[in-house]
Amino acid sequence: MKVERISEHIWSIRSWMLIPVHVWAVADEEGVTLVDAGMPFMAKGIENVVDQLGAGPLRRILLTHGHSDHTGSVKALVERRSIPVYAHRTEIPYMEGQLPYPRRKKAEKNVTPGLAQALGENEHGQLMTVAGLRPYLTPGHSPGHVVYFHEEDQVLLAGDLFTSKKGKLHRPMPMFTADMGEAIQSSAIVRELAPRRLEVCHGGPVMNAVEQLDAYMEKTARAYSVDLRTS
C-alpha cells in the first residue's frame, strides 16, 4: 500500500487489484474523513495510515458510489471504529441490494442495509459540504455516483467518473458503467469546478483536466454514439 500526500489536507492511499485502487484520507479540525473504502484487504492498511498521519481519529466514510471495489473495507472499519458511512440517497438502494444496478442481472449487497446514511441536502436540494468536501451528483457510472471537491485545496476526488492514463482523462470502465452517455454529460462538472488536481480511483492524477475536457467528451461521445447537443 502506497501513501502520498497530494495537498495540504489530502492523502492518497493506493493498493493494487490487477489495476490500481485509490482511496483518500482528508484531514480537518475534527479528524480524518475517508473517501471510498477500497477492497476488503485494504481495511487494516487504511487504519494504520490514518493512525500514522497524526491528524486525529477516523470520523466518517464518504462513498463516491456503492460498487464493491469502493465499499470493501466499510464493514471492518465500521465495526472497529464505530463511524458513520454516507452515500447519495439515490445510490443506497442499489448498494444495499434492494435494486440491481442498471445493466446488471442480479442485485448485489455491497453494504449492510441500514448502515449507510444519505448525504445531507439543504432546502434547495444541494448536497452539503462535509469536512471541507463539497459533494456533487454525477450519475452515469452508477445512478447515485458523486464526486467530492475540496474547495480549499482545489482537488477533485472523482471516483469512477473517469479513469486515467499517463495524466490523461479516459472513460470509466464500460463493463461497470450503467449509462455511458450520462457519465459523459456528468463529466462537465470539471468545467464548472476547474480543479487544480483531479484524482480517480483507477489511475493516476490529472493536473490539467479542464484543458482536456472538451476533447475527452467529444471523443467518448463519438465512440458511444452520444449526441452531446441533446443528451
pLDDT tens-digit map of 46-99: 999 999 999 999 999 999 999 999 999 999 999 999 999 999 999 999 999 999
Asked whether residue 64 is domain-assigned, the answer is yes
Q: Which tens digits make up the pLDDT trace of 15-52? A: 987 889 999 999 999 999 999 999 999 999 999 999 99
CA distance 187 to 18: 25
DSSP class of residue 62 equals E
Asked whether residue 144 is domain-assigned, the answer is yes
Asked whether residue 30 is domain-assigned, the answer is yes
Output the domain CATH number for residue 151.
3.60.15.10
Please give the pLDDT value at position 230.
61
Please, how many CA atoms are within 13 Å of residue 10, restricted to the half-sphere of its CB?
23
The total number of structural domains in the chain stands at: 1
Please, how many CA atoms are within 13 Å of residue 41, restricted to the half-sphere of its CB?
6
Asked whether residue 108 is domain-assigned, the answer is yes
Asked whether residue 36 is domain-assigned, the answer is yes
Domain around 158: 2-224
Asked whether residue 229 is domain-assigned, the answer is no
Contact 196, 155 (CB under 8 A): yes
Per-residue pLDDT at 231 exceeds 60: no
Asked whether residue 201 is domain-assigned, the answer is yes
What are the residues whose beta carbons fall under 8 Å from the beta carbon of 73, sequence distance 6 or more? 23, 37, 38, 39, 40, 42, 43, 46
What are the residues whose beta carbons fall under 8 Å from the beta carbon of 219, sequence distance 6 or more? none
Please give the pLDDT value at position 18.
80
Asked whether residue 115 is domain-assigned, the answer is yes
**Among candidates 36, 35, 45, which has minimal Cα distance to 15?**
45
Per-residue pLDDT at 2 exceeds 60: yes
Which residue, chain included where needed, has cell 436540494? 125
